[in-house]
């Protein structure tokens, strides 16, 4: 059986914490930033925990 390969796109998008949670970036911080308030941009800068429904799919892509 060959080795399982990591999905390279998933590797760039998700990070696994020491406790096993999968973290992701929030959407909406790439463009059209002038009209967004500083408060909103600060909130979008923080990482978020991945939703439970996505968890199994992303774990399989990351090979964990």
Strands 22-24 and 48-49, sheet pairing: antiparallel
Rounded average pLDDT over 19-34: 96
pLDDT at 50 over 90: yes
Give the torsion sign (CA, 45, 51, 55, 61).
negative
Domains of the chain by residue range = 8-62
**What is the structure's pLDDT at 21?**
96
Sign of the Cα pseudo-torsion (37, 42, 30, 60, in order): negative
CATH no. of 8-62: 4.10.410.60
6: which residues sit within 8 A by CB, 6+ positions away?
61, 62, 63
pTM: 0.84
User: What pLDDT is recorded for position 53?
Assistant: 96
pLDDT in tens, 1-12: 899 999 999 999
């Amino acid at each position: 059986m060959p080795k399982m390969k990591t999905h390279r796109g998933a590797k760039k998008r998700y990070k696994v914490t020491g406790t096993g949670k999968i973290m992701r970036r929030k959407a909406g911080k790439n463009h059209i930033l002038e009209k967004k308030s500083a408060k909103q941009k600060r909130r979008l800068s923080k990482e978020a925990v991945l939703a439970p429904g996505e968890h199994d799919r992303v774990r399989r892509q990351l090979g964990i």
